[in-house]
Every structure is written in C-alpha cells, then in structure tokens.
C-alpha cells in the first residue's frame, strides 16, 4: 500500500458535524467538519488508551474522546485532559496525527503521508465533474480482495468478454488489438478497441435507431495511488467510471465509484446507471476474491504477462519504483483486518517532519514500510 498520496476517503456529502470513522491503508481515521465547514482528518486512535475518537463528540472545532474526555484540536494536539487538575500542563506527547484534507469532485481527500505540500503528487483530474453536459452517480461496494487486484481488474480489457459476456463484453470477439500506453509519473492510459454487443434494457431500447459501430474505443487508465478510469463510448453517449479502490486492509477493499454520463442526464436514469455499475461489480467480485496469491506479487516474473496486460505491467513497474524509494507501507504492521495486536502504528503525518522539535512527541510509531526484499 502506498503512502504519500492523496486518498479520496469519503463522499463529501457524508461528512458533517457528526464524527465519522473511515478506514484506509489499514488504519482508522476520524472525519468531521469544523463550524466553518472545513473537513478535518485525524488518526482515530486516542493516545491515552486507544479510544476511537470517531465515537466521541464535537465541542466547537474540538473532538472529545468518548472514554476519558480528552479533547483534541484540528491539528491533532490535545487541548484538555479533564482528569488533570487545572494547573497541570498538557504533555507534548498528547497529540494524534492530523492529515491535510481537501475537497474535490464531491469527495473528501486526505493526504496520507508526511511529505511537505510542494512535494505531494497531484490529485487525479476528473474533467467531467465540472462539465455541465455530464451528470454523476455515486456507488460503493466492499469486496474481500486486495485493492491492487481490484485496481488491475478495471484496467484489464481482456477479461471483459469472459467476465462481462452477459453485459458489455462480447465472447465472440475476445481479441484485443495492440494499443499504446500514455504514461506519466502518476498515471497510465490506453485507448483500446472493443467490440461490445448491442446494449440491452433501457439503453438498448432508447438507442435502437442509432447506427452501431463495429468497434467502440474504451479508454482504460490508472492514476496513483488507487484510482482507475473506464471511459466507454457508447452509441448513445459517454459513460465514464472513476473507481476508487480504498484498501480497508490487505484483503478488503472499499470500492467507491463516481459514474459520469452525458446521455439520459435526468435523475430518472440514475437508478438504472447504478444498477449497471452494480451488475459489473458483481460479475468481477467472485473472480477477484478467488485470485491467488491474494496480494499482487512484487516480482514481475511471478505471473505471466501478455501484450494486452501492458497497463497492469506499467502499474507494477511504477509501484516497484515507489516501493524502492520507501513509499510502500508495511505488509506486516497493518492495524485493521488482522489478528489482535499489542502495538499500534500509524501513517506519519506532515507535522512529524515539519516540526523537528516534536520528533519525540509521538506516542504511536510511524509505519516503517516494507523494505524491498
Ligand atoms: S482513551 Fe481517549 S481519553 Fe482515555
Ligand atoms: Fe471487470
């Protein structure tokens, strides 16, 4: 799992003045809004006795731990310890990690890492979001598979005729013509020709008089750390799915989807669009849940790649580079989804680097990450 990236952790319309727990990279966070509406993201682990701040309450912009009432500010520093006499000072170590947040595309993003602002990789661009000809639906599903397996599944065009043969794949035309990959440091995309069967149901009915090309161009792409795009050009218009693969743990993934379309843009068609997204995910789910090994191998030669796997190979190569530079967080020290633990580690936040004088002020150790083996 990659640290030092912006992660979309929740749909923005779900974040309010009630503290909310979200999980990413095997760590729990609490999300809430300040009185002025800014999103706050803190480690959900009180440094006193490990209470979950997300079960606490807000007083102004401060969050109160439900166990002994310690109050933390938006920067993660504790501002009140009720059991202490008034004159006692609050220990410097009474602080939790606070993560930078921003809102974009109707999502709250948290920067999970300790890089200073100027060095942070960019948030993926979603041009359809501000394009008035598109309308969007939200969707989500939890899958019992590793997030890199679910990520690769979406950029993998060759599985479409087999796994989605009854929806948009065409078992009679499984060949993938050669395609080029457009790659940057943070993304890779390819235009791939597919030959889907005619659309069924409502979309088929409403588009039956339109000419149907033999091939449609589908654009598949990944955007680090965990976003994949699937742009399908249908005879009736464009359907573009942005798929956020959020690692709840090594073996559970919360897939959040923003689905944009520029046809049937009335809200009457939202339910139908969601049903189509769900159908696709339900077709993929048993496949990704049964893949072995569960975790994506680090060694390229541990699985066999062919020409049509170019996007996945590009992903594995790039992730290997980032792992080498220390951006991979542990396979062994994940807090959630594992057996009971005696220690808690967290993703280091920017304050740990910004303030060297605070270097010793952290109760929970930072995840050290996996050294390339
Ligand atoms: S565990 Fe949070 S205040 Fe004691
Ligand atoms: Fe699929």
What's the token pair of residue 196? Answer: 């889907």
Give the residue range(s) of CATH 2.102.10.10 domains in the chain. 5-114
Residue nearest to atom 3 of ligand 1 (CA): 68
pLDDT at 35: 98
What ligand has the least distance to the C-alpha of 151?
2
Rounded-to-integer distance, Cα 307 and Cα 261, Å: 30
Judged by its nearest atom, the ligand closest to the C-alpha of residue 286 is 2
CA of 49 to the centre of ligand 1 (A): 5
Residue with the smallest CA separation from ligand 1 atom 4 is 68
CA distance 48 to 25: 23
Q: Are the C-beta atoms of 109 and 103 separated by less than 8 Å? A: yes
Contact 129, 262 (CB under 8 A): no
Q: Reduced to 3 states, what is the DSSP secondary structure of residue 362?
A: coil
Q: How far, CA to CA in Å, does 312 sit from each of 31, 181, 218, 232, 359?
A: 33, 11, 16, 19, 39
Pocket of ligand 1 contains residue 348 by CB under 6 Å = no
Within 237-350, where are the H helices?
A: 270-290, 310-324
- What pLDDT is attached to residue 334? 62
Token pair listed for 352: 């740990």
pLDDT at 168: 78
CA distance 143 to 147: 9
Give the list of residues 6+ apart from residue 202 with CB closer than 8 angstroms, or none. 264, 269, 272
pTM of the model as a whole: 0.95
Q: Is residue 67 lining ligand 1, measured as CB closer than 6 Å? A: yes
Q: How far apart are CA 280 and CA 154, in angstroms?
A: 10
Task: Compute, in angstroms, the gap from residue 239 CA to the centroid of ligand 2.
Answer: 15
CB 4 within 8 A of CB 120: yes
Q: With CA atoms as reference, report the closest residue to 347 among 28, 102, 8, 105.
A: 28
Cα–Cα distance between 216 and 34 in angstroms, integer?
A: 46
Q: Which mutation among 56, 57, 70 tests ligand 1's pocket best, with the greatest number of atoms within 8 A of CB?
A: 70
Q: Is the CB of 78 under 6 A from ligand 1?
A: no
Determine if ligand 1 sits within 6 Å of the CB of residue 68: yes
* pLDDT on residue 300: 96
Residues of the chain with CATH 3.90.380.10: 128-320
CB 191 within 8 A of CB 218: yes
pLDDT for 337 equals 59
The ranges of the chain with pLDDT < 50 are 373
Q: How far apart are CA 15 and CA 11, in angstroms?
A: 7
Q: How far is the CA of 81 from the centre of ligand 1 (A)?
A: 9
Pick from 28, 67, 78, 364 the residue to mutate for probing ligand 1's pocket: most ligand atoms within 8 Å of its CB. 67
> What tokens were used for 354?
């910004």
Is the beta carbon of 70 within 6 A of some atom in ligand 1?
yes
Distance from the CA of 18 to the center of ligand 1, in angstroms? 18
- Per the CB < 8 A criterion, the answer to whether 137 and 259 are in contact is yes
Please state which of the four CATH numbers 3.90.180.10, 3.40.50.720, 3.40.1160.10, 3.90.380.10 is assigned to the domain occupying 128-320.
3.90.380.10
- Asked whether 49 lines ligand 1 (CB < 6 A), one says yes
Cα-to-centroid distance, 357 and ligand 1 (Å)? 25
Q: Which ligand sits closest to the CA of 81?
A: 1
Q: Mean pLDDT in the chain?
A: 93
What's the confidence (pLDDT) of residue 125?
97
Q: Class for domain 5-114, per CATH?
A: mainly beta
Is the CB of 80 inside a 6 Å radius of any atom of ligand 1?
no
The DSSP annotation for 27-75 comes to: EEEEEEE-TT--EEEEESB-TTT--BGGGSEEETTEEE-TTT--EE-TT
Beta strands in the chain (DSSP E): 5-11, 20-24, 27-33, 39-43, 57-59, 62-64, 71-72, 78-80, 98-99, 101-104, 107-112, 135-143, 182-183, 187-194, 216-223, 227-234, 237-247, 253-261, 345-346, 365-366
| Sequence-ordered list of residues with C-beta below 8 angstroms from that of 262, at least 6 positions apart, any chain | 128, 131, 133, 134, 135, 237, 238
* Ligand 1 atom having least distance to the Cα of 46: 2
- Ligand 1 within 6 A of CB of 242: no
């Amino acid at each position: 799992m990659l640290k030092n990236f912006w992660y979309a952790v929740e749909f923005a319309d779900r974040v309010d003045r009630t503290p909310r727990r979200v999980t990413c990279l095997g760590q729990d966070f609490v999300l809430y809004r300040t009185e002025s509406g800014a999103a706050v993201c803190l480690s959900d682990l009180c440094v006193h006795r490990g209470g979950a701040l997300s079960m606490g309450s807000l007083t102004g912009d401060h969050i109160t731990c439900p166990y002994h009432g310690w109050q933390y500010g938006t920067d993660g520093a504790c501002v009140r310890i009720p059991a202490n006499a008034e004159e006692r000072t609050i220990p410097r170590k009474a602080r939790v990690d606070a993560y930078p947040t921003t809102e974009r595309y109707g999502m709250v993003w948290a920067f999970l890492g300790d890089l200073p602002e100027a060095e942070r990789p960019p948030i993926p661009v979603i041009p359809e979001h501000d394009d008035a000809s598109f309308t969007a639906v939200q969707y989500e599903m939890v899958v019992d598979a590793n997030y890199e397996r679910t990520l690769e599944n979406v950029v993998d065009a060759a599985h479409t005729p087999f796994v989605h043969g009854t929806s948009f794949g065409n078992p009679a035309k499984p060949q993938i013509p050669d395609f080029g990959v457009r790659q940057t440091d943070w993304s890779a995309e390819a235009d791939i020709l597919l030959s889907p069967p005619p659309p069924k149901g409502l979309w088929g009915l409403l588009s039956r008089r339109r000419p149907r090309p033999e091939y449609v161009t589908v654009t598949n792409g990944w955007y680090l750390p965990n976003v994949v795009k699937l742009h399908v050009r249908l005879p009736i218009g464009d359907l573009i799915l942005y798929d956020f693969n959020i690692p709840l743990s090594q073996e559970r993934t919360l897939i959040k989807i923003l689905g944009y379309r520029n046809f049937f843009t009335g809200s009457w068609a939202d339910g139908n669009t969601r049903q189509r997204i769900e159908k696709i995910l339900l077709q993929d789910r048993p496949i990704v849940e049964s893949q072995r090994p569960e975790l994506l191998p680090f060694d390229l030669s541990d699985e066999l790649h062919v020409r049509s796997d170019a996007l996945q190979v590009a992903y594995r190569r790039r992730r290997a580079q980032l792992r080498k530079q220390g951006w991979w967080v542990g396979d062994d020290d994940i807090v959630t989804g594992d057996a009971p633990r005696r220690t808690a580690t967290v993703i280091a936040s920017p304050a740990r680097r910004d303030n060297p004088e605070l270097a010793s002020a952290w109760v929970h150790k930072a995840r050290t990450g996996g050294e390339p083996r």
